[in-house]
Amino acid sequence: MKNKKWLSMLVTLGMLAGILSACKDSNSAGDTTKGDGGGGAASVSEAGKFPIVAEKTNLRVMIGANPAVENFDTNAFTKYFEDLTNIHVEWEIVPASTGAEKLNIALASGDLPDVIMTMNVTPEQQALYGEQGVLLPLNKLIEKYGVNTKKMFEESPLVKSAITSADGNIYALPAPNECYHCSMRQKLWIYKPWLDKLNLKMPTTTEEFYEVLQAFKTKDPNGNGKADEIPFSGAPQTSQKSTLTTSVENYLMNAFTYAPFTRLYINDQDKVDVPFNKDGWKEGLKYLHKLYKEGLMDPQALTRDASQLVQLGENPGVPILGAASGPNMSAMTQLNGSSGRWLDYVAVPPLKGPGGVQLTQYDPYQVAPGQFVITNKAKNPEAAFRFADALYDREITLRSTVGELDKDWRWAKDGEIGLNGKQAVYLDMSKFGVTQNKHWSQSGIAYRPNSLRLGLVDTKDNPLESILYKETKEKYEPYRVQVKTVMPPVNLTVDQSAEIADLSKTIYDYTNEMLSRFIIGDADIDVQWSQYLSTLDSMNLGRYLEIYQEAYKTYKAAASK
């Protein structure tokens, strides 16, 4: 009944318009039979050849706004790619604050562009709107034209299974970014000058970290004679699947129980499990409450947004922030900023908890699915797909993410060494994170495997990637969990997606609320823990895990073929 009710709500919101639109536009979009991928409008050139079309073709593309891109229309890479492909992009830029809402409305109403790019179309949306014919299956297009896509599948074998829907179709292309340091993104960064000034060692346990925070609070490490230091802060995780990892529990909880930011993992019995009903989670919350109660945690750490956390780290004049969790120093500072403060934050290795737990989260599935879909509005699906496949080319990837060849980057010379100690692939001469108009700054799809990422020339002039690689390799990899404990990116059926959508909202709204209440002390964890567990049971946590277990079983069966 819940599934029927859920689908009925979608119709009320505009699904009927989307279905009617799909029927209306079926001729212009070509054959949308499952597994096909569309018929032809203007013919395209042979796979891998340029230009893609002989006559200039327009492609309407919806994309999320990127503050690092000055203007997509006048962008140098946009012009370069148009000259190469003969495809002119008509951009529909969606503000980041309304991206998810805009995507939902567009999919449900049928008011769609040819392509939706870098808008994080979820597996659930792919399954539902793929079944409706709103999103075109790409399987046959990949087989016929996917020169670079097929190379990607060969070099990165986890990608194809991760983007294949439960019905066997691929409705969306990914933006794989096999970022070594991102695969262990739950890190903690501490302001080293304060450790040095107070003659403190790098903390190795939760108790030592507590003592360091006490010193930060009481011993005036910034030397201004004011008690203005904030020992530890953060910014909340916005959703179950958020990769922000700046929430106060994200790093610290792994000293008490395995707690990946996705909140899903595979336990010792090969079952899908969650951390937030475990005794270790309870002990971790008690530790965080202690930090909060004693003023060692920023009282606004549970409500700050990401930009406000950076403002703390970049406080004008004297530094005031001691430590915060995040994937890299940009969580609390401006990378390459004028203050240079980003270089003074160093990674803290995984802390050992009172029970001996000391873990590094791991995510080998650096796939970034759902980044390029072709809708039933596309008049030339073949040209749209060729456009996407070209973006996976290595040189084009570097042009779209770094900038102009021989100005912003160049190919490595013989004998230049990469981050991994092997012959390098390229030298990056650009500045990351600044607003510019040379490239798309990771908007749009690209393919960046380990062979490319770790093939960056190791240089002191642009040390960020080198720092992150070494910090991760030396401090986090020794404590990395085994791959078998990592929940793979499973794909759900339409019915499973409908049920999970209802269950996950209820469960994660509640766990996030109680996390805050237990940390603040608004709820007494010793008194209310049993009630908390009972409430999770009543919210059907068991069924939630059962659905994911079914999907995990399907994933394993497909991966073994």
Q: Kindly state whether residues 211 and 161 are assigned to the same domain.
A: no
Given a cut of 60, whether residue 288 has pLDDT beyond it is: yes
Q: Kindly state whether residues 190 and 337 are assigned to the same domain.
A: yes
Quick check: is 44 in a domain?
yes
**Integer Cα distance of 390 and 53 in angstroms:** 13
Q: Kindly state whether residues 144 and 212 are assigned to the same domain.
A: no
Q: What is the CATH number of the domain that holds 313?
A: 3.40.190.10
Lowest mean pLDDT, pick from 113-127, 133-147, 273-287? 113-127
* 178 bridge partner residues: none
Q: Kindly state whether residues 199 and 229 are assigned to the same domain.
A: yes
Our count of domains for the chain comes to: 3
**Integer Cα distance of 334 and 311 in angstroms:** 9
Whole-model pTM: value is 0.80
Q: Kindly state whether residues 286 and 164 are assigned to the same domain.
A: no
**Integer Cα distance of 165 and 208 in angstroms:** 47
Q: Kindly state whether residues 372 and 285 are assigned to the same domain.
A: no
Where are the strands (E) in 303-394, listed by range? 321-325, 345-348, 372-374
Point out the domain boundary residue: 348, 377, 411: 348
**Integer Cα distance of 445 and 389 in angstroms:** 9
Quick check: is 153 in a domain?
yes
Q: Kindly state whether residues 186 and 287 are assigned to the same domain.
A: yes
Quick check: is 358 in a domain?
no
Q: Which residue has the higher pLDDT, 442 or 33?
A: 442
Quick check: is 456 in a domain?
no
Given a cut of 50, whether residue 149 has pLDDT beyond it is: yes
Quick check: is 226 in a domain?
yes
Q: What is the rounded average pLDDT of the residues 98-117?
A: 95
Q: What is the pLDDT of residue 267?
A: 98
Sorting pLDDT into bands at 50, 70 and 90, what band is 558?
A: confident
Mean pLDDT of the chain: 90
Q: Kindly state whether residues 340 and 254 are assigned to the same domain.
A: yes
Q: What is the pLDDT of residue 559?
A: 76
Domain range for 103 is 2-173+368-399
What Cα–Cα distance (Å) separates residue 418 from each residue in 252, 454, 455, 471? 32, 6, 5, 16
Q: Kindly state whether residues 169 and 295 are assigned to the same domain.
A: no
In contact, 108 and 13? CB cutoff 8 Å = yes
Q: Which residue has the higher pLDDT, 558 or 10?
A: 558
205: phi then psi, degrees, rounded to nearest 5: -130, 165
What Cα–Cα distance (Å) separates residue 179 from each residue in 64, 189, 355, 493? 22, 19, 31, 29
pLDDT in tens, 154-179: 999 889 988 999 899 999 999 999 99
DSSP state of 173: B
> For residue 51, is the peptide bond before it cis, meaning its omega torsion is within 30 degrees of 0?
yes
pLDDT in tens, 302-335: 999 888 999 999 999 999 999 999 999 999 999 8
Structure tokens at 382: 């073949």
Calculate the CA dihedral of residues 511, 512, 514, 519 and round it to 10 degrees. 130
pLDDT in tens, 502-538: 999 999 999 999 999 999 999 999 999 999 999 999 9
Quick check: is 470 in a domain?
no
Point out the domain boundary residue: 286, 316, 348: 348
Q: What is the pLDDT of residue 477?
A: 97
Quick check: is 429 in a domain?
no
- pLDDT > 70 in the chain, percent: 91
DSSP helix/strand/coil, 290: helix
pLDDT in tens, 242-274: 556 899 999 999 999 999 999 999 999 999 999
DSSP letters spanning 42-57: S--PSTT-SSS-SS-E
Q: Kindly state whether residues 392 and 274 are assigned to the same domain.
A: no
Quick check: is 451 in a domain?
no
Q: Kindly state whether residues 256 and 324 are assigned to the same domain.
A: yes
Q: Kindly state whether residues 167 and 215 are assigned to the same domain.
A: no
